[in-house]
């Protein structure tokens, strides 16, 4: 996951364009907080290192367990906080 600081002047489209210029087999999805990137582990790690070098400020990179198509990544989908949603998910799926 790539969190983009709106005041840093970095746009999600420029990050996606960089991945295309490097001919990397990555999938990307723009979100309300920045960008999600998906692909082979080493490819993603290499691209994240390139992002750190290219844009040293304004980006926060974090590994997330959600895939691009997973709706749990967006709190707006469920209109709840992440902790409440995770607790409800655990309770609903742990019943015998």
What average pLDDT does this structure show over 12-17? 89
pLDDT at 21: 92
- Residue 70 CA: distances (Å) to CA of 21, 42, 45, 75, 82: 27, 22, 21, 12, 14
pLDDT at 82 over 70: no
Instruction: Please indicate, yes or no, whether the overall pTM of this predicted structure exceeds 0.85.
Output: no
Between 53 and 9, name the one with better pLDDT.
53
pLDDT at 9: 83
Distance CA 16, CA 21 (A): 9
pLDDT at 11: 86
């Amino acid at each position: 996951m790539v969190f983009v600081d709106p005041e840093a002047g970095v746009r999600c489209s420029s990050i996606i364009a960089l991945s295309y210029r490097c001919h990397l087999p990555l999938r990307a999805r723009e979100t309300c907080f920045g960008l999600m990137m998906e692909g082979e582990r080493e490819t993603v790690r290499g691209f994240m290192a390139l992002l750190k070098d290219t844009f040293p400020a304004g980006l926060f990179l974090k590994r997330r367990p959600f895939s691009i198509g997973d709706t749990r990544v967006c709190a707006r989908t469920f209109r709840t906080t992440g902790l409440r949603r995770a607790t409800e998910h655990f309770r609903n799926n742990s019943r015998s």
